[in-house]
């Protein structure tokens, strides 16, 4: 079946620290992988995506590389800001009319 496992939070970092949020997946076929972000009081919005192995998705200083050999799609950012405080969701689709989400990781960045 299809599923996503991401590291449990919450994660608390100081401003300008390095961020890694781990995500691994199981999927039938060749999935596309996504990171979504949910800011307080808002709906989810797409942060970045990668559609095939070795692709790197990037946006707003965040990056994630599609690693087929380790079935992973870890989210990284070199220097986090207070405004990055949010819940981050890893997700995948195999094009079968659904998007499978992880449980979410809450990030809090303190000044």
- If one asks whether residue 5 binds another protein (CB under 8 A), the answer comes out as no
Stretch binding another protein (CB under 8 A), from 15-23, 53-61, 72-80, 95-103: 95-103
Contact 62, 75 (CB under 8 A): yes
**CA end-to-end span of the chain:** 41
Q: Does 99 bind another protein (CB under 8 A)?
A: yes
Stretch that binds another protein, among 8-16, 21-29, 67-75, 89-97 (CB under 8 A): 89-97
Nearer to another protein, 77 or 89 (CB): 89
From CA 64, how far away is CA 42, in angstroms rounded? Answer: 23
Under the binding rule (CB under 8 A), the answer on residue 49 touching another protein is yes
Could you say whether residue 88 binds another protein (CB under 8 A)? no
Does 89 engage in binding with another protein (CB under 8 A)? Answer: yes
d(CA 6, CA 9): 9
Q: Which of 14, 26, 42 has the alpha carbon at shortest distance from 90?
A: 26
Q: CA-to-CA distance for 98 and 2, rounded, in angstroms?
A: 10
Contacts to another protein by CB under 8 A = 32, 34, 41-46, 49, 89, 93, 95-99, 101-104
């Amino acid at each position: 079946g299809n599923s996503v496992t991401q590291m449990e939070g919450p994660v608390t970092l100081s401003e300008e620290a390095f961020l890694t949020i781990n995500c691994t997946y199981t999927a039938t076929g060749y999935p596309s992988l996504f990171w979504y972000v949910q800011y307080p009081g808002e709906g989810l919005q797409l942060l970045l995506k990668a559609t095939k192995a070795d692709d790197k998705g990037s946006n707003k200083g965040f990056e994630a590389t599609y690693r087929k050999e380790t079935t992973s799609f870890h989210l990284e950012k070199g220097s986090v800001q207070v405004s990055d405080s949010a819940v981050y969701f890893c997700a995948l689709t195999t094009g079968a009319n659904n998007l499978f989400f992880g449980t979410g990781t809450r990030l809090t960045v303190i000044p």
